[in-house]
Amino acid sequence: MIPDNYTKITEFLLKGFSEEPELQPLIFGIFLSMYLITVLGNLLIILAVCSDSHLHTPMYFFLSNLSFVDIFFTSSAIPKMLWNIQSHRKVITYEGCITQMYFALFLGVLDDFLLTVMAYDRFIAICHPLHYRVIMNPRLCGLLVLVSWIMSALHSLLHSLMVLWLSFCRNLEIPHFFCELYQMIRLACSDTTLNDMVLYVASGLLGGGPFAGILYSYSKIVSTIHGISSAKGKYKAFSTCVSHLSVVLLFYCTTLGVYLSSSGTHISHSSAIASVMYMLVTPMLNPFIYSLRNKDIKGALKRIFGIEVMKWPKVQG
């Protein structure tokens, strides 16, 4: 049965980070700069992978997909926040809020799946190098990405449909800079027991499952690297995983920060800051992490633009 006050809901208020008028230009400038860097950096990764035939490999195929998803993940919330600051309005329509929540959840989970697929790719490359081209064929790579998209879309659709059946009372202020699922559930005045149960079960399965897969892949990778006799061979094998491992740690640490802050007493401020870390800071740093220490990416960008990419100090191995 649809709640009686369902049709009365037309908009929500996104409180953002601060109510102080003098801080709004500073917040706008910082987030606009970070957003532009994120979009530009990830577009450069996609351009390099698409334009250079040397990068038409499974690893860079997954990386270009990750960059593509990161652009839209960040774009699901930041442009609306910037518009609200610029227009001095904090309003978002009910339909817009549900849509924003759907895409933020969908793309965030998809990020998680893609990182898991990339860990599997590194596992095959290091632990089964002779069979790498056979196992990681174009059909399997495409299938892994397709399944990741479908599972993420269905997961997000489930939560969004369940939120649609919640009723909301007079308090329509969301203590966040975007319509985040947990905040929406907490804002409802109807029974949210089922929503909470589905949220925790889904978080355990779609969060813990991929993380367990990543841990398993890297346990095998570490074991294989440990068995390599030469120090140069160990360094060469491990260096292919450094960028991905850095992004995984950054993603999971910031995501964990969101859940820890949301379970605390001051959920509004700390959760919003933690969400910035995984929604904006992590996608912004990904291109730097993957390109500054990657000779293939730097070489591709040099061939495209005819310029040297920033050099990164070598680590002695």
Burial 237-252 (b: 16+ CB within 10 A, else e): bbeebebbbbbbebbb
Percent of the chain surpassing pLDDT 70: 88
**Chain segment 58-84, per-residue pLDDT in tens:** 999 999 999 999 999 999 999 999 998
pLDDT at 120: 94
pLDDT digits (tens, 9 = 90+) for 25-51: 898 999 999 999 999 999 999 998 988
Residues 40, 141: Cα–Cα separation, whole Å: 26
Return the DSSP state at 3.
-
Cβ count near 27 (within 10 Å): 17
pLDDT at 5: 44
Read off the pLDDT of residues 276-294 as tens digits, 9 standing for 90 and up: 888 888 899 888 888 766 7
Query: What is the pTM assigned to this prediction?
Result: 0.86
Across the range 5-21, mean pLDDT stands at 71
Structural domains in the chain plus CATH codes: 11-305 (1.20.1070.10)
SS3 of residue 206 by DSSP? helix
